[in-house]
Structure 1
Amino acid sequence: MFRRTSLAIAVISSGLVSFSSVADTSHSTSQKATRAITHAPIGVMGDHTHSKGEFMLSYRMMSMEMSGNIQGSDSISNDSIATTVANPYANPPMSPPTVRVVPQDMSTQMHMFGFMYAPTDDITLMAMINYLDKDMTLTTYQGGMGTNVLGNFDTASSGLADSKLAMLYRLFDSSNHKLHANIGWIIPTGSEEETAEVLTPMNMRMTMRLPYGMQLSSGSHQGELGLTYNGFAHNISWGAQALYTSTLNENDQDYEVGDKLQLTAWSAYAVSDSLSTSARLKYTHTGDISGADMMIMAPVTTANPANYGGDMLELAIGVNTVVAGQHRLAFEYQIPLSQDANGVQMEMDSMWTVGYQVAF
């Protein structure tokens, strides 16, 4: 795990519309929204700038499914986790020597509400509010050893997540090539103290603080820096983005989430002026968690800070439509091509994103 990511691996990626639309050969809102191909994939955030005086409102929903577990890049069975993966909080007989609670599947839905405004031609301001809904099913094994299963239980958390303020600064703008800088501040407006009732290996039901992955916030302020490029030629567009997110402070629970490097590139084809398709590759490197919340000490893989972060390469395909000039509806579906997790983690199955925007 790397606390401050210095490795950058370039990858090609494609997808659908982000919350915003890429600048076209003209800076007017009406012409920007005329052709679907002028929009970047919906899975790409902060992909474009606006001209002075322009506004944009957006909404998108993301839904991710996870199931099963991997150790590094290899699958690992429930029984193997329960009998061989060490519990860092072992204190027999109260806390067993190995992990005895194993995640089975998890679903995450995020609702994202965005606003953009350009006070000048070179500066576009962006604000985003997020709402999260998480559900996880886990299996509890009996006692401190063996493979006897006590049963399954569910945990859930939902509410306001972290918010974001950002500035996009235009660096280069021609009819076919555009480049801007991304500068963002992620604000910990969500909760990192969510609790739920769990089934313990001693066959007891008790309320505990949920592990890190089920919390709604990092609890820390984070800074984000990046570059975004867009290119256009006839019925084809392409682009790339690099974003680096770094935690700025330890949160009130005495830990920091890992820094994140995201590299993505895409290409899109115009089926017609109002319809385009896209393909995207995305590479993500995330560091593990530094420090620990002393209220999260359960014998489950998700309670171990070392079981967070790693490397992932994803493929996404998307569709983008423009209706009545200024309204855009987009969809993207993505799957992992490879996953290399720190420690033992749940495996991502798929994610889809749908988004709507209106510019004026």
Structure 2
Amino acid sequence: MSFVLRWPVKSKMLKVGDLVCSLCWEKNNGLERVFSGIQPTGIPHLGNYLGAIQNWVRFQEEYSSALYSIVDLHSITVPREPKVLHQSILDTTAVLLACGIDPQKCIIFQQSKVPEHVELGWILGCLTNVPRLRSFSQWKVKSAIQKSEGSVGLFTYPVLQAADILLYKSTHVPVGEDQVQHLELAQDTARLFNKKYGVFFPVPQTILNTTKKIKSLRDPMAKMSKSDAQALATVDITDSPEEIVLKFRKAVTDFTSEVTYDPSGRPGVSNLVAIHAAVTGLSPEDIVRQSVGLDTARYKGVVAEAVIQKFAPVRSEFGRLQEDQSYLKKVLQAGAEKAKELAAPVCLEIKRMVGF
């Protein structure tokens, strides 16, 4: 079970300056706002759903305000075909709606339609030093993959990410383990701005995802990824039942037939157990007890069926929405208008504070 930090609180996660920043929460009329974003770089996969999207559905009920952004500006830090990117924006929107994101309960919008993101990104970039950005592990990894130092956009996108969060005076941000470093930049930037220009931003708090990181079906030591070159490694939310069965049948395990949960000793089988537990809501221990007498070959079929059942309604609704692209565009347009209503006065006040 995950937990959420509320403003104002005293916690070991808060620094001394954050207690002062509880004043920002008071100025926000006690509003708790969660913000998160997803890149439109292909159909979200099983790991995206379990690690983020299913929590977003819950947060829109738990928080007084929730914003979910299709962060297309972030997606072009690596080359994208314009037509493919455009379709990916609509497909990602369709998937989110099919999974239960409700435009009446939250704001779902396309990042590039709200120019204040870029304006604040520039201002915050002028408060961020180069060594801090060079220290980001994702910069090092992605640069290595591209076999170069990459683009300026790839280098500075954590600053834009901080702007995405702070622009709405967000109080809570759900993150995976690989994004903690990025949220820390947003937190430190909020503190620095408040110190330099006056108390304005709440310091956004981390909501850590408690779901075990879903691994590649072909390499259980690596996380499941949209960019994996092996088609059998990743289960997309919209995969057909036949595709799901094939991918799990080909999943890498080991030479022991018993179903056990031992992530360090048996990563392949343990990844299957973690997936099975996540889609059913059971614990890994419960899954293992239920699987006594099954060998791993038969167990793969059980896991595949559980995933098929989980995503059957999502796949059906996605297909329906994909046929109605005008509706998807209307949802994004309405969301952008709502987001801009929130962002414009915040950005205007920031400009005034800075001296523009």
TM-score, structure 2 normalization: 0.24
- By relative contact order (CA 8 Å, sep 6+), the higher-ranking structure is 1
Per residue, is there more strand in 1 or in 2?
1
Per residue, is there more helix in 1 or in 2?
2
TM-score, structure 1 normalization: 0.23
